[in-house]
Amino acid sequence: MSAGGKDLGQVERKTFAKFPLTSLSAAAAETATFPVDMIKTRLQLLGGDSRCRPQTAAGSGLRVAFNIWRTGGVLGFYDGLAPAVLRHLFYTPIRIVCYENLRNLAGYSVAGRAFAGGVSGTIAQVLASPADLIKVRMQADGRLVSQGLPGRYTGIIDSFNKIIRNEGVLGLWRGVFPNAQRAFLVNMGELSCYDQAKRFIINHEICEDNVLAHTMASVASGLCATTLSCPADVVKTRMMNQASCKACDKIYRTSYDCLVKTVKFEGIMALWKGFFPTWARLGPWQFVFWVSYEKLRQISGFSSF
């Protein structure tokens, strides 16, 4: 084998070796922050009832958290954790590895990083969308139970089978377009901002490439990603939760219809429902993920992200 072939083989091995590193880090981050994601999802579903009328009850995070605790206890905050972790076993490795390769091709400029982040996030989200759909449905089931209604699914396999049986295989990709739009915005903000912020911190000698630098970069990227992606996240959550019956299909015909009706009946700020829980989750999630991932890279002999 030629020297070039050996180099290419080594690059491929290093690329595939990053997949288990990102999967482990993502699983740890998802488990640690999932209760906040549960509260965020419940907040975003408030107002998305069958007649598109806003609920009069205040949808505060504390009230939602209390309702989850009252109906399900501690375990109630982890409804849908299994599909969420499953999703990240595909989503996170794909977006991280794609980002690093696209960044190297597009250049290390701000625009190049933003492009690489958005495209890699979109690709990863389309592939992982079925697991995301199941996660949202199982999280929403807890809300039905809290209202004294029976849940729709008993677990991952049951939800997977019922979705295919009632909505077809393509039903697993319900909400994929707002999902992909959100993923583009999230990763454009999250990956490029983390990358840019960390290098700014290190290059300006604010601190070395350590946990403190990773923490500050995570906070900055979490705020940026949340601001950009929250409207698409609200639309995505409501579209995914929408049942397949004819009456329910009339709620939102398309993602654009969902966007228009949400603003019309609930006001423009409804697009940022769950903003603070989202940010409160993204910050810790990124902290756990990036600190774990960068440490695992260091142990495995990879260069810093």
DSSP output for 227-272 = HHHHHHHHHHHHHHH--SSHHHHTT-SSHHHHHHHHHHHH-GGGGG
Amino acid at 251: I
State the pLDDT at residue 9: 56
What local confidence, expressed as pLDDT, does residue 1 receive? 46
**Burial track 118-136 (b if 16+ CB lie within 10 A, e otherwise):** bbbbbbbbbebbbbbbbbb
Cβ 182 vs Cβ 136: under 8 Å: no
CA-CA distance, 133 to 66, in Å (whole number)?
Answer: 25
Residue with the bigger pLDDT between 145 and 165: it is 165
- With cut-offs at 50, 70 and 90, classify the pLDDT of residue 202: very high
**Closest CA relative to residue 217, chosen from 232, 234, 196:** 196
d(CA 78, CA 38): 7
The whole-angstrom separation of Cα 51 and Cα 134 is: 24
Q: How do the domains of the chain map onto residue ranges?
A: 18-300
Fold of 18-300: Mitochondrial carrier fold (1.50.40)
146-150, 206-210, 214-218: which has the minimum mean pLDDT?
146-150
- Residue ranges of alpha helices (H) inside the chain are 3-45, 61-72, 81-106, 110-146, 156-167, 176-203, 211-241, 246-249, 255-266, 275-300
Which of 24-38, 48-62, 132-146, 214-228 has the weakest average pLDDT?
Answer: 48-62
The three-point CA angle 117-128-42 to 5° equals: 95
pLDDT for res 55: 41
The proportion of the chain whose per-residue pLDDT surpasses 70, expressed as a percent, equals 85
Average pLDDT, rounded, for the chain:
81
More confident residue, 118 or 82: 118
The pair phi, psi for residue 71, each rounded to 5°, is -90, -25
Which one is predicted more confidently, 183 or 281? 183
Q: Is the four-CA dihedral 249, 250, 256, 259 of positive or negative sign?
A: negative
- pLDDT of the residue at 142: 66
pLDDT at 171 over 60: yes
pLDDT band at 72 (very low <50, low <70, confident <90, very high): confident
Distances (CA, A) of 301 to 109, 114, 296, 298: 26, 27, 9, 5
pLDDT score recorded for residue 7: 56
pLDDT at 187: 92
What mean pLDDT comes out for the span 176-192? 86
- From residue 74, alpha-carbon distances to 36, 70, 109, 132 in Å are 12, 9, 45, 22
In the predicted structure, residue 245 carries a pLDDT above the cut 60:
no
Which pLDDT band, with edges at 50, 70 and 90, does 57 fall under?
Answer: very low
